[in-house]
């Protein structure tokens, strides 16, 4: 049994032209940049930053965002090198399949499925929540929640998922255009809110900038919610201080998941060796600037102690606490737009990961069949149905930590893969090269791993359970049906 067998780069590139299993190239670098902003400017910019300030870092959440942005930006450079060399659907899954081996690629693909399925379901669920809230604020007596006896059904997630599923079935370019228009509008709303918020900023709210470390609440729940490294070292659970900044960075990393998704559409990009690195880089720069501005405004308007008194603090909470209730309507509309665009990109990313794994035979090959529009219509519809049903019928919480651990694990392995591929195939043309190989990629991997260790014990337990389920599926089906194992493809 050879679980570390790898695909050749040449074979991986050749598969993009396989009849009935190929995607249409029609995206530009601007489409990719907007796609990254679309998925990043959503729940994170309106809520995660405020929660990290309230319960982890205080005003120093600004540093948390900077740390998360630098780590993500560095990881993005690794993605850019691979995407310029192997512009194929699947992102981190495809990259690791050609370098580290099949079992690692399966783990990454399985993690990405978890990340995007849960994120898509949660975001579409909360799109409905904020839609109802917006309609209440503007005086519309309408609710998307239906009750049939003891059964509750929210039709809002079904509506938004169905809308974008139809667009994506008819072509990725069509979906990208609609998504782009909505994204430009929500960016304008975010900038407007930030500008207004600066008029309410008080310098005293930034003091102390780094709140002194405090012991966390005791009990079994506190143990499960402390960072893994604290539990392993026997350190007493604490909040704020330097450890709070790092754990805050691990939490707000949720804001940067979009660039992992963008890399999954490399196969649908024109001139990918140029446009993928450029699109990812421009989008990343826009996101870091916006998140830093939102963090400054949120912590400057009200004290982090006041935010901590709220059940679920957000950007709108800060405006309410300073008496600017009028801003709630604008922010609510921005959230509705923001979450809608996130849903589309996550639906696209999830489909492309499953598509790539299916085309390799690790999942049933029929899932990667494409139609006349150059999209995997059947798979896109199936993904939409699953996401909509999970969001509409189940009471799910915001599992941002689960999304984070999936993303960070992918980032870690992609960074490690860069020096491996440089040594394995130095002859391959690379339109973009990350500087400082091998030490810079290894430092990037270490930084991502450190953020993973700052996620909670409960998150790690769930992650291990998900991996065990994935290994069971791989050894029961994937290993024996993989095209490398059946002899359809040659190993590198």
Q: What does the CA dihedral 319, 321, 323, 329 come to, rounded to 10 degrees?
A: 40
CB contact at 8 A, 30 and 37: no
**Per-residue pLDDT at 396 exceeds 70:** no
Q: Residue 51's Cα: distance from chain center in Å?
A: 18
Distances in Å between the alpha carbon of 267 and those of 8, 190, 258, 263, 384? 17, 31, 17, 9, 21
Residue 286 to residue 186: CA distance in whole angstroms: 13
Quick one: pLDDT band at residue 393, thresholds 50, 70, 90? confident
pLDDT higher for 288 or 234? 288
**Per-residue pLDDT at 329 exceeds 60:** yes
Residue 374 to residue 390: CA distance in whole angstroms: 27
pLDDT higher for 41 or 457? 457
In a domain, 301, yes or no: yes
Weakest mean pLDDT among 64-78, 205-219, 325-339, 387-401: 387-401
In a domain, 13, yes or no: no
Weakest mean pLDDT among 187-191, 260-264, 474-478: 260-264
CATH number of the domain that residue 158 is part of:
1.20.1740.10
In a domain, 243, yes or no: yes
pLDDT at 398: 46
In a domain, 382, yes or no: yes
In a domain, 19, yes or no: no
Please give the residue range of the domain that contains residue 343: 26-486
Quick one: pLDDT band at residue 259, thresholds 50, 70, 90? low
pLDDT at 223: 64
Mean pLDDT in residue range 49-64? 84
In a domain, 295, yes or no: yes
Mean pLDDT in residue range 272-286? 82
In a domain, 20, yes or no: no
φ and ψ of 250, to 5 deg: -65, -35
Distances in Å between the alpha carbon of 454 and those of 42, 52, 63, 107, 387? 23, 13, 16, 21, 29
Structurally, how many domains does the chain consist of?
A: 1
pLDDT at 284: 82
Which token pair is 148? Answer: 């049939």
In a domain, 434, yes or no: yes
Output the average pLDDT for the chain.
81
> Of 121, 115, 118, which is closest to residue 410 (Cα–Cα)?
115
421: left (phi over 0), alpha (psi -120 to 50) or beta: alpha
φ and ψ of 277, to 5 deg: -60, -40
Residue 425 to residue 432: CA distance in whole angstroms: 15
Q: What does the CA dihedral 45, 125, 79, 485 come to, rounded to 10 degrees?
A: 170
């Amino acid at each position: 049994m050879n679980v570390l067998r790898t695909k050749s780069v040449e074979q991986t590139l050749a598969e993009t032209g396989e009849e009935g299993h190929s995607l249409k190239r029609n995206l530009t670098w601007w489409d990719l940049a907007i796609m990254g902003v679309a998925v990043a400017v959503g729940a994170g910019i309106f809520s995660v930053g405020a929660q990290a300030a309230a319960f982890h870092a205080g005003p120093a959440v600004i540093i948390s965002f900077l740390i998360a942005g630098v780590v993500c930006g560095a990881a993005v450079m690794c993605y850019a090198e691979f995407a310029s060399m192997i512009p194929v659907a699947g992102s981190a899954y495809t990259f690791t399949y050609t370098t580290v081996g099949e079992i690692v690629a399966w783990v990454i693909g399985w993690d990405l499925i978890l990340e995007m399925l849960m994120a898509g379901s949660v975001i579409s669920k909360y799109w409905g929540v904020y839609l109802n809230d917006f309609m209440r604020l503007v005086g519309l007596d309408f609710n998307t929640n239906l009750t049939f006896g003891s059964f509750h059904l929210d039709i809002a997630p079904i509506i938004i998922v169905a809308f974008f599923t139809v667009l994506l079935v008819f072509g990725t370019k069509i979906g990208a255009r609609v998504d782009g228009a909505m994204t430009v509008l929500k960016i304008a709303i975010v900038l407007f809110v930030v500008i207004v918020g600066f008029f309410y900023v008080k310098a005293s709210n930034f003091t102390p900038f780094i709140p002194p470390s405090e012991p966390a609440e005791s009990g079994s729940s506190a143990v499960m919610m402390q960072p893994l490294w604290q539990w392993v070292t026997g350190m007493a659970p604490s909040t704020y201080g330097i450890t709070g900044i790092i754990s805050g960075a691990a939490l707000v990393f949720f804001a940067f998941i979009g660039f992992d998704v963008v890399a999954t559409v490399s196969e649908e990009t024109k001139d990918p060796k140029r446009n993928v690195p450029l699109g990812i880089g421009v989008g990343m720069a826009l996101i870091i600037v916006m998140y830093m501005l939102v963090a400054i405004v949120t912590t400057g308007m009200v004290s982090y102690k006041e935010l901590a008194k709220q059940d679920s603090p957000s950007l709108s909470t800060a405006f309410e606490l300073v008496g600017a209730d009028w801003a709630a309507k604008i922010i609510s509309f921005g959230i509705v737009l923001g979450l809608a665009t996130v849903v589309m990109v996550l639906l696209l990313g999830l489909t492309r990961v499953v598509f790539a794994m299916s085309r390799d035979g690790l999942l049933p090959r029929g899932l990667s069949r494409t139609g006349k529009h150059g999209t995997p219509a059947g798979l896109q519809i199936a993904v939409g149905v699953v996401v909509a049903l999970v969001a509409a019928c189940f009471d799910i919480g915001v599992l941002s930590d689960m999304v984070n651990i999936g993303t960070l694990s992918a980032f870690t392995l992609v960074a490690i893969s860069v020096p491996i591929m440089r040594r394995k195939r130095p002859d391959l043309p690379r339109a973009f090269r990350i500087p400082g190989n091998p030490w810079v990629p290894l430092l990037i991997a270490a930084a991502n791993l450190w953020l993973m260790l700052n996620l909670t014990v409960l998150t790690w337990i769930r992650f291990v359970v998900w991996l065990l389920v994935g290994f069971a599926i791989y050894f029961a089906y994937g290993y024996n049906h993989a095209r490398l194992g059946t002899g359809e493809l040659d190993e590198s």
